[in-house]
Amino acid sequence: MDEIKFNLLEIDLTTGEKKNVDLTEDVKKYLGGRGLGAKILWDRVPVGTDPLSSDNILYLGVGPITGLFGSVTNISALSPLTLLRGESNMNGHFGVELIYGGYNAGVLLRGKANRPSYIYIKDDDVQIREASHLWGQCNPENQQILLTELKKDLDDQNFRIASIGPAGEHLVRNASIDHDFYHHAARLGMGAVMGSKNIKAIAVRGTKPPPYVKPDLLYHLLLKWLREDKDEKIGRRRWGHCVSMPERYYATTEGIKNKQLGWDPICDLSNPLKLEQGAKLWSDSCNLCHVGCKVPYMRRKPPYAPTIGEIRHDNAGGWNANVMIPGYDVQTYLSTYVDVLGLDSEDVSGVVAWMMECYDRGLVTKEDLGGIELTWGNLRAVCQILKKIAYREGIGDKLAEGLKFAPDLINKAEKKYAMTKKGVAITSYEPRGSLSDAVGLVVNPVGELHGGRGSPERIIFDSLTACSFLRRPIPKTFGSIANWARPMLEGACGWRLTEKDWRNLILRASIMERCVSIREGCLPVRDDILPDRFFDEVIYSKYGESKVLDRKKFLEMREKTYLGFGLNAKGIPARKTLKDLDMEFVLPVLEEKLGSLE
Amino acid sequence: MFHYGVIHRELSRIRIFRYLLPAPKSFQNVCSQCSEQERECEKACPIDPPVIHYDSVKFHMVVDEERCLGLKCAKCLKACPAKIPRFYPPEHDHAVICDLCEKEGVRRPQCVEICPSFALEYMNPQFPQHMQRIHPDEKAACMAERLHPLPRNKAQISPEELFGGNE
């Protein structure tokens, strides 16, 4: 049977050289997106590279079914925030343009442009263009300028743009990459890596047909999917991501006051139904997604108007009760401001929450903060400090280093109040509410991310680059994930995978990712742990139930989870597993770090 | 899929254009099957009889692919206020417009069939059909009015304007 080839566009920003690289063999083993990104990092970035140096890469990863099941772009680089493997997902319409451009293994940027530039990709026409007129511009203004500039007629209307804001330009370690106003590859500082390469934006437009092997089969699967799945569609389409917030507050799984409380009355101010009634504009979908979970809102009533916003669970948690902002009315303004500056909403909210607690406890003063009264829930103060962070002014210069470095730079502030794991802020989750959530947070090889994003099942979605929000209803429609994925891959690529092949793909992508982090200095038993607060301080739910983590149970469950991931009890892949997965090339490096892997 | 058996959005007869208002919004663009007096494409076609015309038996617009002069002519595209007719040279160098996915007299628009959110309907004309013939740019401009007073390039009032002073 015919099988398709996978083509990577590699751009050396230093020399301006562009070439197409055949990555078919790697794609067969690691799929694309997150799994392939880890492999590319392993192959092409030397151990111990400074993430903000020109030796780091920025890989815009797509995969075999990008655009058929949502359109995810997974961005990979060494993370400036954690110094470990970094990756972040962004949905929207960017990935599918790369597919239609003929780059079904993604785009790899290496080196550093010698002046502010943007990358222009229209099918085979790839250019590194001057971007001094965009440099310094905030989101979404920079995207609007570029869209207007690129638009010649309707055929060019659909350039998709990923850009960084001022935060990325100033190499703020938790800067994000933004696409289409509310899609962000925000986590782990991918925006800072893009900024360090002097790249302000990437504009893509593709018009070539994707070479799917069996379009009939794909079409059949898609029809079945679009017609049968209703649940996810109804809920998310109506309220968007923030619908999960009240449930999480009531289950004590959402952080409040930098994780000091289990309940506060301001939680009830975040009511998705009221937000819908008062401010919803419409529902918006990514490519070939019938859910449409992006629900932008517009505030018209003063004082925080006019503002357009889109509230996702991640920023809903971070910019809400965790910093004591009173509900969605105020939050719509704040989360948009973060996006305008190009910061990672979730991570920077953890930095601000940490500073707020230190201010509250009198450890840092108004003078230390450059005259800002950083009291809980003070919107004006938060906006001031965010601007300082994004432009690295005054105290903002230190806070821009993220929670891995900032606590050492600001001596007066106590490190123990920084809710972080591996340097990434824990904001939107309260681990004490659920042991499995707590373990799910720590076992992720790339640092704290959203709950469960470290599991092989999630990693495989990010590698297929299918939207993981669509994964829950899949078993209902298709029986199991494998029953859906194998025919999808057959239709798209012509591969006939056995059950075992599929299991190996899942395992390989997740272990590859872990190997990169271990190579960069992560030791799972030492680093996969939560701050002491979660084990020592009891919080109470609205109804008075006490919640605290039991360290022993936590460690037991962590061990069990490692074993479930195909690792040993210490979170390290065994030699035999690596051999079975054709990954022996990692053995010398890992054994040098960790000793024998028997 | 229906016409050519491939998954290729550029060959679709209903096309989606995306704008930043600044909130992103997509708009569809498809032939509105104008009434005879309003059929600008048919009037503009230099061939006699017109290559692009209404088929009164099938009840939809058709294009005689063999006789069409292709993109180098494109008079129909220039004449259509919504810029509906599209050309895909070299494989499909003829005007491509919506034929309601008609096959053997049965009209079943596939876009309506597949639309999971019931955003599309196939129904009798509700008002003169050419009134639906709106250029996507213009649709975007109309929709942007809903976001008044925000300009197209700003997502919010700045903190400086909100709180006063130099933040």
Q: Is A233 on the interface with B (CB under 8 A)?
A: yes
Of A521, A520, A531, A517, nearest to A567 by C-alpha is A517
Q: Is B23 on the interface with A (CB under 8 A)?
A: yes
Cα–Cα distance for residue pair A591/A540, rounded to 1 Å: 45
Within A256-396, strands assigned E span: 297-299, 307-309
Closest chain A residue by Cα to residue B25: A284
User: Which member of B10, B25, B156 has the closest CB to residue A306?
Assistant: B156
pLDDT above 50: residue A5: yes
For residue A16, give every residue at least 6 positions away whose Cβ sits within 8 Å of its Cβ, in sequence order, or none.
A128
How many A/B residue pairs have CB atoms within 8 Å?
A: 127
Neighbouring CB atoms inside 10 A of A304's CB total 19
pLDDT digits (tens, 9 = 90+) for A75-126: 999 999 999 999 999 999 999 999 999 999 999 999 999 999 999 999 999 9
Look at the pTM and tell me if it is higher than 0.90: yes
For residue A160, list chain B residues with Cβ-Cβ distance below 8 A.
Answer: 18
pLDDT (average), residues A143-166: 94
| Contact flag B117-A292 (C-beta cutoff 8 Å) | yes
Tell me what pLDDT residue A154 has.
87
Q: In chain B, which ranges are continuous DSSP H helix?
A: 40-44, 75-79, 110-114, 136-145, 159-163
For residue A230, give every residue at least 6 positions away whose Cβ sits within 8 Å of its Cβ, in sequence order, or none.
none
Tell me what pLDDT residue A1 has.
59
Pairing of strands B106-107, B102-103: antiparallel
Q: Give me Rg for the CA atoms of chain A.
A: 23
Probe site for chain B from A69, A134, A137, A157 (most B CB atoms < 10 A): A157
Closest chain B residue by Cα to residue A385: B167
| Contact flag A140-B157 (C-beta cutoff 8 Å) | no
Domains of chain A (ranges; CATH) run 7-205 (3.60.9.10), 229-425 (1.10.569.10)
For residue A11, give every residue at least 6 positions away whose Cβ sits within 8 Å of its Cβ, in sequence order, or none.
A17, A18, A107, A108, A109, A110, A119, A126, A128
Of B68, B43, B42, B66, nearest to B54 by C-alpha is B42
Question: SS3 for A311?
Answer: coil
User: Which member of A153, A226, A308 has the closest CB to residue B150?
Assistant: A308
The share of chain A scoring above pLDDT 90, in percent, equals 78
Residues in chain B: 167
Strand partners, B156: A307
Closest approach of chain B CAs to the CA of A14, in angstroms?
A: 32
Type of residue numbered A124:
D
Q: Is B167 on the interface with A (CB under 8 A)?
A: yes
Question: Any idea where the domains of chain B sit in the sequence?
Answer: 9-151
Tell me the two tokens of residue A335: 């989360």
Q: Is A58 on the interface with B (CB under 8 A)?
A: no
User: Which member of B1, B116, B156 has the closest CB to residue A333?
Assistant: B156
| Contact flag A180-B9 (C-beta cutoff 8 Å) | no
Q: Is B8 on the interface with A (CB under 8 A)?
A: yes
Q: Is A215 on the interface with B (CB under 8 A)?
A: yes
Q: What is the DSSP string of A27-48?
A: HHHH-SHHHHHHHHHHHHS-TT
For residue B147, list chain A residues with Cβ-Cβ distance below 8 A.
Answer: 281, 298, 306, 308
Tell me what pLDDT residue A230 has.
66
pLDDT digits (tens, 9 = 90+) for A248-268: 999 999 999 999 999 999 999
C-alpha to C-alpha distances, A197 to A5, A51, A110, A179, nearest whole angstrom: 29, 11, 8, 18
The answer to whether A44 touches A110, Cβ cutoff 8 Å, is yes
Instruction: Tell me the CATH number for domain B9-151.
Output: 3.30.70.20
For residue A379, give every residue at least 6 positions away whose Cβ sits within 8 Å of its Cβ, in sequence order, or none.
A304, A325, A330, A333, A334
The answer to whether A171 touches A112, Cβ cutoff 8 Å, is no
With the C-alpha atoms ordered A96, A98, A104, A107, is the resulting torsion angle positive or negative? negative
Of A294, A107, A301, A274, nearest to A204 by C-alpha is A107
| Contact flag A281-B23 (C-beta cutoff 8 Å) | yes
What single DSSP character describes residue A209? P
Tokens 């730079």 belong to residue: A409
pLDDT above 90: residue A177: yes
pLDDT (average), residues A5-16: 97
Pairing of strands A85-90, A183-185: unpaired
Q: Is B142 on the interface with A (CB under 8 A)?
A: no
C-alpha to C-alpha distances, A383 to A252, A399, B7, B166, nearest whole angstrom: 28, 14, 46, 12
User: Which member of A207, A290, A308 has the closest CB to residue B22?
Assistant: A308
C-alpha to C-alpha distances, A561 to A225, A500, A571, nearest whole angstrom: 31, 21, 9
| Contact flag B23-A141 (C-beta cutoff 8 Å) | no
For residue A145, list chain B residues with Cβ-Cβ distance below 8 A.
Answer: 153
Pairing of strands A18-22, B86-88: unpaired
Tell me what pLDDT residue B167 has.
45
Closest chain A residue by Cα to residue B119: A290
| Contact flag A387-B157 (C-beta cutoff 8 Å) | no
Closest approach of chain A CAs to the CA of B53, in angstroms?
A: 23
pLDDT digits (tens, 9 = 90+) for B89-135: 888 999 999 999 999 889 999 999 888 788 898 988 888 989 999 99
For residue B15, list chain A residues with Cβ-Cβ distance below 8 A.
Answer: 154
Q: What is the DSSP string of A135-177?
A: TTPPTTHHHHHHHHHH-SSGGGTT-EEEEE-HHHHTT-TTB-E
pLDDT digits (tens, 9 = 90+) for A292-347: 889 999 998 888 889 998 988 878 888 989 999 988 888 999 999 999 999 999 99
| Contact flag B156-A180 (C-beta cutoff 8 Å) | no
pLDDT digits (tens, 9 = 90+) for A258-303: 999 999 999 999 898 999 999 999 999 888 888 888 999 999 888 8
For residue B19, list chain A residues with Cβ-Cβ distance below 8 A.
Answer: 157
User: Which member of B8, B22, B136 has the closest CB to residue A140?
Assistant: B22
User: Which member of A233, A285, A340 has the closest CB to residue B155?
Assistant: A340
Closest chain B residue by Cα to residue A144: B153
B38 phi/psi in degrees, rounded to 5: -100, 5
